[in-house]
Structure 1
C-alpha cells in the first residue's frame, strides 16, 4: 500500500494513488491533525478543540464520529482492490481517540524536518555544499503555506507557525551557504523577490546587499539599505540593527571584508523583524 501525505501546501492525502481528502473543511481538519501525528494517538478532546475551539457543540463527539466514518468510507473506496487491508486497519479507534496507522515518513512535513535537521548540522560543521544541497531539498517539498486550504484551529495553527518559521530560517541558511560558495550572481533574482515579499526582514536584505556588492552593483546595494531603513522607520519606528548599519558602512567604504568568502560581518545570523 502506497500512502502519500502532503501538508506543506494544500492538504493532499492519497492511498494507492486515490485521494481520500474530503471536500468539507472540518473532516479535512481531522485528517490533517491525524496525518501530522501519524502513528500516534490523537485524543477525541484534541480533535474537538481543533474543530470547534473551547466551546464544542453538545453533539461534538457524535459529529466527530461522523467525520471519522466519512474518512473510513473514503479509505474503503481507495482500498477497494485490496483484500488484505481495510479502513479500520489504517484509521484505528484506540481509546481515548484515533490513530492514523501510516509511517511518519509518508508525511512531507516529517521528511522536511529530517532534511532540515541534516542541513543545519552541515551548517554547524561548515560543510557549505552539503548544507546548500540538503536545505534546498527540504525547501523543495513546499507547495505553498502549510495547510493552505484549511481553517486552522489551535493544533494546526501552532504547527503552521512552527513550519513557516523553520522554512524562513532554512531559506536564510541555504542562501548563506550559497553566498559562501560564491553563487552571488545566481541569488540576485531570488533575493530581490524575498526582499519585496518580506520588506522588514533584515536577514534577506543583508544577503541581498552582499550579493549586489559582490556583483559590482554597489549603488543598488546602498539603495537596498535605504529602502529597508525607510520601511522600518515607517512601519516600526526603529532603525536597522547595528549589524545592518555596519554592513552599510562597509559597502560605503568599499572594505575588502565583503569580498571574502565568509565575511566576519555576516557570521552571526540576524533575527527576523
Structure 2
C-alpha cells in the first residue's frame, strides 16, 4: 500500500504514492502545509482562517477555504487514481465536523521520524551510551533539508510549528555536540561550532561548547576570544552580562583549570 509522505524539515513536500501533491499557489500551499502538520487530525475552520488571512479574513472565508480544498483535491486526484487498490481525493483530504483533515492509513512525517530518533538518542545519552546517542541524534539531524517549512509563508499555527521544529533541531545539535565533547572529539567539532556560534551569537550553550573545544585543542587564547565575542553580543543586544555559568567557564580558562581537560563525564556539563 502506498504512503502519504510529508516533509516539514526544509522545503515543504507531500507525495501520494510518490507523486507530489504540493501546489504552487501560495494560499493552497499554506492550507496543505497546515493540514500536513496535523496529519490525521482535524484542523478547525477557525485555525485555517487565522492561518490563511492572519486575522483579516475576507467576507465568507468558509467559501474561500472550500474553493482551496476543491483545488487541492483536483491536485490530489491524479495521484490517488494511481494507487492500488485506490482511494479518492476526498478520502485523503477529508471534511471533518468543523474543519478538514489530511491523511491516509499510512501517513509518514519526517518530523515524527526526527523526533523519534532524538528521543532514542537522548535516552541513550542519559543511560551513559554517548556513542550510540550520537549516532541516533546524527541520524535524526540528517533528515533535515533546511529550515522547517522554508518555502511556505507561515503565521499562526504554522509559524509556531516551524519555530518548534527549528528549536528542537538546535537542541538536538547541542546535545549531540555535548556528547561528542565527552568522547574527546573537540578538534573535529571546531569548524561546526564556529559556524553555529556565528549563526546563533546569543546561544550560550554553543559558545560554552566552543570554548571547551578550543581550550582542549590547545587554543586558550581563542577560547578567551570566543567568550569576549559572546559578552559583546549579550551586553550590546540584551544589556546583560553572560550567565554565571559562562563567567565561571571563562575563569577556568584563565586559571588553566584542570577540570577543563577531564575525560568523558568527569567534566561538569556546560
Task: Give the TM-score normalised by structure 2.
Answer: 0.93
RMSD after superposition? 1.8
Note closer, same or farther for the CA distance 1:160–1:179 as it changes in structure 2 (3 Å cut).
same
What is the rounded CA distance, in whole Å, between the counterparts of 2:223 and 2:255 in structure 1?
13
Structure 2 residue 157 is the aligned partner of structure 1 residue 148 = no
What is the rounded CA distance, in whole Å, between the counterparts of 2:165 and 2:265 in structure 1?
29
SS at 2:120 equivalent: helix
Q: How many aligned positions are there?
A: 268
SS at 1:98 equivalent: strand
1:132 to 131, 134, 140: 134
User: In the alignment, what sits opposite 2:256?
Assistant: 254
Taking the TM superposition and a 5 Å limit, the aligned residue runs for 1:87-106 are 87-102=89-104, 106=108
User: In the alignment, what sits opposite 1:61?
Assistant: 62
Deviations 1:234-273 (A, max 9, x none): 2222211111111111111212101112466642x5xxxx
Q: Identify the range of structure 1 (220-229 vs 230-239) with the bigger mean alpha-carbon deviation.
A: 230-239
What is the rounded CA distance, in whole Å, between the counterparts of 1:93 and 1:186 in structure 2?
52
1:16 Cα deviation (Å)?
Answer: 2.0
Taking the TM superposition and a 5 Å limit, the aligned residue runs for 1:107-122 are 107-122=109-124
**Which 5+ residue runs of structure 2 have no aligned equivalent?**
none
Note closer, same or farther for the CA distance 1:192–1:105 as it changes in structure 2 (3 Å cut).
farther
Taking the TM superposition and a 5 Å limit, the aligned residue runs for 1:9-88 are 9-82=10-83, 84-88=86-90
1:105 Cα deviation (Å)?
Answer: 5.6
What is the rounded CA distance, in whole Å, between the counterparts of 1:69 and 1:257 in structure 2?
64
**Which 5+ residue runs of structure 1 have no aligned equivalent?**
none
SS at 2:81 equivalent: coil
Taking the TM superposition and a 5 Å limit, the aligned residue runs for 1:226-237 are 226-237=228-239
Deviations 1:146-198 (A, max 9, x none): 11111212110111121122111111111001111111111010000011111
**Contact 1:104 1:110 (8 Å CA) reproduced:** no
**Contact 1:33 1:155 (8 Å CA) reproduced:** yes
What is the rounded CA distance, in whole Å, between the counterparts of 1:77 and 1:132 in structure 2?
42
SS at 1:34 equivalent: helix
What is the rounded CA distance, in whole Å, between the counterparts of 1:238 and 1:207 in structure 2?
20
1:13 Cα deviation (Å)?
Answer: 0.9
User: In the alignment, what sits opposite 1:243?
Assistant: 245
**Contact 1:39 1:104 (8 Å CA) reproduced:** no
Task: Give the TM-score normalised by structure 1.
Answer: 0.92
1:118 Cα deviation (Å)?
Answer: 1.8
